[in-house]
Amino acid sequence: MSVKTNIITLFESQKELCVKEITDKLNVSKQMVHLVMKQLVEGGIVEKFGRTPKTIYRFVSLKKVEEAEIPLISANEQTFLHKHFLVVSETGKLLESIEGFDYWCKKRNLPTIKTLKEFVQTKEKYASYYDKQGNINGLDKLKNTKGYEKIWLDDLYYLDFYAIERFGKTRLGTILHYAKQGQNKFLMKLMMDEIRERIVSFVNLQKADAIGFVPPTIRREVQIMKFIQNNLQLPFPIIEIKKLSGIIPVPQKSLQKLDERIINAENTFAITEKRTFKHVVLIDDAVGSGSTLNQIAGKIKNKQVAQKVTGLAIVGSFKGFDVVTDV
């Protein structure tokens, strides 16, 4: 029998194997095993989990391989899905385009082709919210939110919504969520590839002369806002914003009432910048209530650090602010 057949037979009995186990049991070279495993993964016979050197391969039954047949769609639909859809499976696999959409539909017992047409129609409903640069103006939503004594922000924009009706998190919302919660540098890099040019273009169009980055509340080994700052490499001064906290840090997402979020933002951020500027663009990862950006903008203006402050978030909420409670 061929090495490939022997490996498949081994998987049929043991279901889950690493490369070392296969080489030891079949007495074949590691190079040969890697070559065959690549073929089996591409053929959908096994699935790959983890990263080197902790990679595990799991057997997929022939029945599952048959069930996993992906529907055929047009080139335009492929392009549309690649731009707008991404899902992370429960085992941490990143699925894009029709593969990801088909997976999402099957998990919900939905017909893929019919649901795809409904997804396109739903996205079209949101098209009017995007400006010519592809950004969303969230200032009106902030102004119409009851509870603010004063709106300090001169403008507020998102690169995309965090989630939309029925279909949940957007592509960018999904990437941000898993990148931040999992402190995943791979996803952070993927996110930066999608947003870097858009942020640079936005800052230039705003004619800003300084940038501010909202500091994190919770200590993490990999801070997504620091990652964004380091990877943008914007040629502008960065204003100093300090995050203060008591014995127990309280993140905005844990607060369900607007007044609590405003109090939290007002009392846990401090502007220590001594320089003065005309226009600061203040960048955050996600906007729910807008309280963090708005209160920091107020502190910037009260200290006369800048005459104008524009907020920019990677993602923002569509209705209310409780949708952005898990980022």
For 107, the domain range is 70-125
The domain boundary residue, chosen from 17, 51, 66? 66
Query: With bands split at pLDDT 50, 70 and 90, how would you rate the model's confidence at 293?
Result: very high
Could you give the C-alpha distances from 152 to 146, 300, 309, 325, in angstroms and in order?
14, 9, 8, 23
Question: What are the beta bridge partners of residue 96?
Answer: 86
The pLDDT confidence band at residue 65, using thresholds 50, 70 and 90, is very low
Provide the domain count of the chain. 3
Q: Same structural domain for residues 226 and 254?
A: yes
CA-based nearest residue to 296, from 327, 273, 326, 321 = 273
- Give the residue from 95, 110, 125 where a domain finishes: 125
**Picking from 50-64, 81-95, 229-243, 303-317, which range would have the lowest pLDDT averaged per residue?**
50-64
Residue 322 lies in a domain: no
Residue with tokens 């209705």: 319
CA separation for the pair 143, 153 (Å, rounded): 10
Give mean pLDDT, residues 149-171. Answer: 95
Q: Own/partner pairs for 319-323, CB < 8 Å, 24+ apart?
A: 321/145, 321/258, 321/261, 321/287, 321/288, 321/289, 321/290, 322/256, 322/288, 323/162, 323/163, 323/288
Is residue 84's pLDDT more than 60? yes
Most confident segment among 28-37, 44-53, 202-211, 266-275: 202-211
Cα angle vertex 145, ends 139, 151, to 5°? 55
Residues 98 and 140 placed together within one structural domain of the fold:
no
Using DSSP, state whether 286 is helix, strand or coil. strand
Q: Is residue 212 situated within a structural domain?
A: yes
In the DSSP assignment, the letter for residue 253 is G
Q: ∠ at Cα 38 (36, 44), nearest 5°?
A: 105
**What is the model's pLDDT at position 210?**
98
- Give the model's pLDDT for residue 324: 53
- Domain identity same for 311 and 163: yes
- pLDDT at position 323 is 43
Q: What is the pLDDT of residue 11?
A: 87
DSSP conformation letters of 62-120: HHHHHHTPPPP--HHHHHHHHHH-EEE-TTS-EEEHHHHHHHHHHHTT--HHHHHHHHH
Whether residues 172 and 307 fall in one domain:
yes
The band of 66, judged by pLDDT with boundaries at 50, 70 and 90, is very low
Q: What is the pLDDT of residues 181-215, one digit of tens each?
A: 889 999 999 999 999 999 999 999 999 999 999 99
Q: Which residues neighbour 46 within 8 Å (Cβ) at sequence distance 6 or greater?
A: 11, 37, 40, 57, 58, 59, 60
Task: Report the alpha-carbon distance of residue 222 to residue 88 in Å, rounded.
Answer: 20
Prediction pTM value: 0.80
End position of a domain, from candidates 85, 104, 125: 125
Residue 324 within a domain: no
8 A C-beta contact, residue 104 and residue 87: yes
* Residues facing residue 130 across a β-bridge: 136
Do 237 and 209 form a contact (C-beta atoms < 8 A)? Answer: yes
Q: Give 72-83 pLDDT, tens digit per residue.
A: 899 999 999 999
Listed range (20-34, 46-60, 130-144) with the worst mean pLDDT: 46-60
What local confidence, expressed as pLDDT, does residue 188 receive? 95
Residue at token pair 């990263």: 51
**Is it true that the peptide bond before 53 is cis, omega within 30 degrees of 0?**
yes
Residue 252 belongs to a domain: yes
Average pLDDT over residues 158-165: 95
* Whether residue 280 is found in the same domain as residue 155: yes
In which band, very low, low, confident or very high, does the pLDDT at 322 lie, cut at 50, 70 and 90? very low
Q: What pLDDT does 123 receive?
A: 95
253-262: pLDDT as tens digits? 777 788 888 8
Band (61; pLDDT cuts 50, 70, 90): low
Q: Are both 296 and 172 inside the same structural domain?
A: yes
H helices of the chain, in order, are 3-14, 19-26, 30-42, 62-67, 75-84, 97-107, 112-125, 139-143, 171-181, 185-206, 224-232, 258-268, 291-302
For residue 327, tell me if it sits in a domain: no
Count CB atoms within 10 A of the CB of residue 62: 12
